[in-house]
Amino acid sequence: MNEIPIFNYSIFACEYQNHNRDKELFGKTVSDWAKSNINANNLHHGLTHQTPPGLQMNHGLDQLINSEEIKHFVSSLDGKIDMPPDRSFAISKMWATFVPPHGTISTHMHEGAFHGIYMLHSPINSGMIVFERDIPNAYYDVFSAGEVEKTPYNTNRQSYNMPEGGIFFLPSWMKHSSTSNESDDTRITINFILDVFEK
Alpha-carbon span 130 to 174, nearest angstrom: 10
Angle at the Cα of 177 from the Cα atoms of 184 and 35, rounded to 5 degrees = 55
**DSSP at 111:** S
Tell me, yes or no, whether 86 lies in a domain: yes
CATH code: domain of residue 100: 2.60.120.620
Residue 181 binned pLDDT confidence (cut-offs 50, 70, 90): very high
Residues 61-69 have a mean pLDDT of 96
Per-residue pLDDT tens for 109-133? 999 999 999 999 999 999 999 998 8
Alpha-carbon span 189 to 18, nearest angstrom: 16
Question: How many domains does the chain contain in total?
Answer: 1
Does the structure show a pLDDT above 70 at 139? no
Residues 94-103 have a mean pLDDT of 93
Looking at every residue in the chain, the average pLDDT score rounds to 87
Tell me, yes or no, whether 71 lies in a domain: yes
Per-residue pLDDT tens for 10-57? 899 999 999 999 999 999 999 988 887 666 545 556 678 888 888 999
**DSSP string of 44-96, one letter each residue:** S-TT-EEPPS-GGG-GGGHHHHT-HHHHHHHHHTBTTB---TTEEEEEEEEEE
Tell me, yes or no, whether 45 lies in a domain: yes
Tell me, yes or no, whether 81 lies in a domain: yes
Q: Parallel, antiparallel, or unpaired: how do β-strands 187-198 and 87-99 relate?
A: antiparallel
Tell me, yes or no, whether 123 lies in a domain: yes
Tell me, yes or no, whether 149 lies in a domain: no
Tell me, yes or no, whether 93 lies in a domain: yes
Q: What residues make up the domain containing 41?
A: 2-144+154-198
Residue 170 binned pLDDT confidence (cut-offs 50, 70, 90): very high
